[in-house]
């Protein structure tokens, strides 16, 4: 028996056409002025963007649209957005987009009520003492699950690091999941974000902190990715597959925000900051290599992952059945067109920097197998040797 705790502080509503109700939801949170955070792609292309804006205006709310958000928001991007929200005097924020606008909005809401720069919280010079302003998240990708996690990731361009700040009060008050918003994702974005969800589910399931509730959520998420990711990549109009990927992303994130992640994310954050590779690609490229390293620590869990991904393990011993999970993920990467580590930009000369920046990752203790600097070096060298 193990002792554990589990919290899920975000209300989730799931369904098609939910965007029309955002105005009313803002009012329930006491909003008069709303800071509407998104990115320029959404403003120009998303059919949901004007629907949400209109819904807020119909509800009598004053709205400021803020779309100056780039992928992997930097300290500068977060601070500029935070100042804009302060100047406008908004009492609620709404984020529409992928992990980048959602994370930026989470940091911005926290900075409305807590002094200093986001960098102070990234580098632990300050602690969060006041609850963040209320936030509603509306994801348009299925991968990060940021709509239900406590953390927000910011890029420090100077140190070339991506660092998370996490606090329960940064969790969105409401997550609105509408599978229709995912239909516009091109295959490459569908693939990379879907593999981000798979990585969350696998790292959450095998975390040293995992427990029965997180296990159930992660294993079901792995199953959903196994059944729906390749379908979504091949046919972006498949609304059922999109809806299942949205669920997979949400469940994996709701679990990992309770039980942590591991070495894949440690390395992926470095690759993202150093080579500006999309977060999902950075995860996917490392996932099979780290899984291979982790299998001996918890083979039964990896056997379950293999089964959840549809592998036939009948007649195999535990070890061979467990390694089937690695094979399955390798095949996923091929089916989804994920590049190799070399193609991402890693060179042998950069490996010491990646090792140095990864080993201190705050969630590394959750990795099922203890990882040393030498281990990371070996994992990266052998992954690079494969091309």
Chain residues in the site for ligand NAD (CB under 6 A):
39, 41, 71-72, 97-100, 103, 140-141, 143-146, 149, 151-153, 162, 181-182, 184-185, 189, 193, 196, 253, 279-280
Q: Return the number of the residue (134 or 204) whose C-beta is nearest ligand NAD.
A: 204
Q: What is the DSSP letter of 130?
A: S
What gap in Å lies between CA 342 and CA 326, rounded to an integer? Answer: 20
Q: Return the number of the residue (55 or 146) whose C-beta is nearest ligand NAD.
A: 146
Q: Return the number of the residue (10 or 294) whose C-beta is nearest ligand NAD.
A: 10
Minimum Å gap between C-beta 57 and ligand NAD is 23
> Which of 70, 336, 289 shows the shortest CA–CA distance to 193?
336
Minimum Å gap between C-beta 95 and ligand NAD is 10
Longest dimension (CA), the chain: 65
Residue with the shortest CB distance to ligand NAD: 99
Minimum Å gap between C-beta 184 and ligand NAD is 4
Minimum Å gap between C-beta 182 and ligand NAD is 6
Answer for the pair 72, 100: CB distance below 8 angstroms, yes or no: yes
Q: Does residue 31 sit in helix, strand or coil?
A: coil
What gap in Å lies between CA 28 and CA 25, rounded to an integer? Answer: 5
What gap in Å lies between CA 99 and CA 137, rounded to an integer? Answer: 10
What gap in Å lies between CA 346 and CA 380, rounded to an integer? Answer: 9
Q: Return the number of the residue (93 or 306) whose C-beta is nearest ligand NAD.
A: 93
Q: Return the number of the residue (185 or 376) whose C-beta is nearest ligand NAD.
A: 185
Minimum Å gap between C-beta 272 and ligand NAD is 6
Collect contacts of 123-131 with beta carbons under 8 A, ≥24 apart: 123/163, 128/165, 128/167, 128/169, 128/170, 130/169, 131/169
> Which of 79, 108, 78 shows the shortest CA–CA distance to 93?
108
Q: Return the number of the residue (285 or 306) whose C-beta is nearest ligand NAD.
A: 285
Minimum Å gap between C-beta 114 and ligand NAD is 18
Minimum Å gap between C-beta 50 and ligand NAD is 15
Q: Return the number of the residue (90 or 181) whose C-beta is nearest ligand NAD.
A: 181
Answer for the pair 270, 358: CB distance below 8 angstroms, yes or no: yes
């Amino acid at each position: 028996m193990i002792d554990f705790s589990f919290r899920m502080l975000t209300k989730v509503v799931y369904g098609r056409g939910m965007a029309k109700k955002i105005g009313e939801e803002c009012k329930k949170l006491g909003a008069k002025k709303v800071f509407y955070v998104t990115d320029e792609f959404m403003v120009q292309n998303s059919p949901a963007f004007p629907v949400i804006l209109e819904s807020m205006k119909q509800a009598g709310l004053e709205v400021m649209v803020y779309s100056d958000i780039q992928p992997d928001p930097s300290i500068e991007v977060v601070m500029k957005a935070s100042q804009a929200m302060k100047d406008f005097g908004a009492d609620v924020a709404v984020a529409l987009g992928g992990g980048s606008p959602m994370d930026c909005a989470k940091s911005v809401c926290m900075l409305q009520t807590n002094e200093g720069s986001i960098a102070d919280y990234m580098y632990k010079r300050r602690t969060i003492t006041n609850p963040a302003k209320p936030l509603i998240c509306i994801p348009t990708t299925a991968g990060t699950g940021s709509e239900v996690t406590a953390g927000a990731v910011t890029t420090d361009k100077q140190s070339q690091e991506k660092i998370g700040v996490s606090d329960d009060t940064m969790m969105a008050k409401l997550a609105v999941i509408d599978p229709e918003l995912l239909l516009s994702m091109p295959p490459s974005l569908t693939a990379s974000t879907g593999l981000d969800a798979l990585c969350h589910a696998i790292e959450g399931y095998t975390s040293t902190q995992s427990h029965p509730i997180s296990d159930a959520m992660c294993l079901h998420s792995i199953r959903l990715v196994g059944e729906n990711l390749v379908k979504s990549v091949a046919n972006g109009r498949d609304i059922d597959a999109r809806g299942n990927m949205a669920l997979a992303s949400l469940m994996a994130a709701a679990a990992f925000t309770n039980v942590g992640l591991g070495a894949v994310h440690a390395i992926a954050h470095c690759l993202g900051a150093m080579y500006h590779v999309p977060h999902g690609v950075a995860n996917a490229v490392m996932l099979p290599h780290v899984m291979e390293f982790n299998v001996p620590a918890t083979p039964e869990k990896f056997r379950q992952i293999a089964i959840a991904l549809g592998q036939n393990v009948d007649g195999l011993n535990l070890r061979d059945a467990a390694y089937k999970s690695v094979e399955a993920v390798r095949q996923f990467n091929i089916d989804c067109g994920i590049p190799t580590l070399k193609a991402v930009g890693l060179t042998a000369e950069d490996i010491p920097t990646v090792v140095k920046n990864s080993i201190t990752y705050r969630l590394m203790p959750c990795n099922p197998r203890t990882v040393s600097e030498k281990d990371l070096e070996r994992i990266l060298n052998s992954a690079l040797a494969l091309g």
